[in-house]
Every structure is written in C-alpha cells, then in structure tokens.
Amino acid sequence: MYYTEPSMEMRRDPREGTSYVRRRMYMEGKEQHRDVNSQMRELEAYLQELSSDITEMVKGASAEEKNVLRQKITTLANKIQ
C-alpha cells in the first residue's frame, strides 16, 4: 500500500513540519527496492527536511529546551556509531 498526499480536510498543522512527507517517500523507495542511488537521494532529502524542521523548532527554544535537544541528538549520534 502506498500513501497519497492528504486531502484538504486532512491537512496537517504546519507547525508539525514537513519531514513526515520525505520520510514517507524514503520508506516507499525502500519498499519498492529502488537502486542504491535513488535510496540515497531520498535519504538525503529526508535528512535535509528533518534538519530544517529541527532548526525551525529551535529558533524560539529556551536554553533548557536546547540543552535537552542537544542531549537527545548526542544520544542519537552515539546509536549510529
């Protein structure tokens, strides 16, 4: 099953960001067993959108919120290694 864009009545709140769209595209590409280059392009686009969403979220964050985010990102980076 493949996803489609939400209809007008199902539109998400713009404050939620848009990385979910890129994630869906990346996951669909993996399910379709696309070639490695296509998967890497989709992954790069997804990570760029995710970074953009996080950067936008941090703009108005307090020092405490930024500290929590920094800790979580460090934990995530350690899991990747």
pLDDT for position 9: 46
- The total of structural domains in the chain comes to 1
pLDDT for position 61: 93
- What range defines the domain where residue 47 resides? 8-80
Tell me whether residue 66 is in a domain: yes
pLDDT for position 15: 57
Tell me whether residue 41 is in a domain: yes
pLDDT along the chain (81 residues), means of 10: 52 62 72 79 86 88 94 93 83
pLDDT for position 70: 94
Specify whether the CB–CB gap between 35 and 42 falls below 8 A. no
Tell me whether residue 65 is in a domain: yes
- DSSP letter for 65, please: H
Three-state DSSP class for residue 4: coil
Tell me whether residue 1 is in a domain: no
pLDDT for position 69: 92
pLDDT for position 17: 62
